[in-house]
Structure 1
Amino acid sequence: RRHASALTDHPVYWTREQRGEEAATWLLFDHKHQYLRETSIRADDRSPLVRAFCVPRHAVDDSPTGERMLLLLALALMESHGIRTVVTDIAELAGTPGFVFDRRRTAITATWIGADGIWYADVTDNRTTVRGYDDAAGYAINHSINDGPSPRARLRAFAEYLQLKWSTLAVRCAELGEWGAAGIAQPRSRLLSVDGFDRACRYLGSVDQRGD
């Protein structure tokens, strides 16, 4: 967040998570959910924010059903904040670090996954680096495996890629979202909350019911 002022244009985000275990942080950590709320303020109907993922086929095949569901819910949480999600399955892009760039001259790299558990963040205006990020994000946007005109279309397409049964999942999420997860699991840490998880469940269930 502290580097956000370095960006001069509408940003595009690249999210490093490829499995549900990694993506669960968006659903359970308060500061991650707050970050989505704050960044979504930049979004509007004409220029929606874009958050890109790379989820190679092998990451799907190696993940149990529960983890694949968590990954889908993480994208549902982002879509609920007006952030358009795009996913590429190109394995060559799997090692791309998490970044945000403004399509002009500045990029912020911020990630811990795959970095020996050490968090690092950096701001760069190196043309080669920024061009590489632009190419990666541009490919994901233009060749998205979950491309669709609406959140429901994008989430349903991603569910199919994850080999999840959309109709059953949508019903279960609607039911769980209505009752909330607090009665099942109540985190004791002040850093954790089920608010993001509940919001994602409600949203996924509601877009299916509305047919958005």
Structure 2
Amino acid sequence: MKKIIFALGLLFPVQICLSQKITVKAHSVVGYGQYTEFAQKAFKALELVLNSDEFREGIKTMKAEKTQGYTPEKLYEIIMQAKEKTVPTDSTATDGIVDLWVRTLDVNGRDSKWKDNCENPSIFGNQTIGIDGAGDGFMAICPSALEHWASTNDIAALAGHYAHEYMHVLGFDHYRLISSQSWRERTFVYKVGYLVRDLVKKMNSASP
């Protein structure tokens, strides 16, 4: 077991996957304001988890809906190849790098249709946390969710959110004609987000 010094002073014991290594690169962080540094911690946590043996094994043993028929080994390969389906206009992405463009939802402006979905920062349940970048390449998060997670220093939740939305960017979805939250939570997109969240929590709890 190797010990890695996590940026900003956190120590995370983790088994590193030596066969493949990818980088998380945040090209743009818009509207985060005072929470930008908090987001940077989540990006680093996400990168650390994606390169861990625990994540690789978690994907390869995962049972999930909406996998497009891929084997667990292929799903892991797709993640590690990091070939985004959509990036913002006039932007470029590099294979093997998790390219992220993130912003907050402008719930009082162009994203006003999401305002009701973003209410109640402490009770998310079926509510919207954010939207993926399958449309314009930007992952957008509800300001209330970002504020709530930052106030509780829940880096794991934000890293899990980024992982969830990134699965959408890679081409996976959780849509079905008639679906419930319990069904959506069994999908590959949700399960990857939860896996990342739980591994970050595990590493945080193990740090001295």
* TM more than 0.5: no
TM-score, length of structure 1 as denominator length = 0.27
Question: Greater helix percent: which structure?
Answer: 1
TM-score, length of structure 2 as denominator length = 0.28
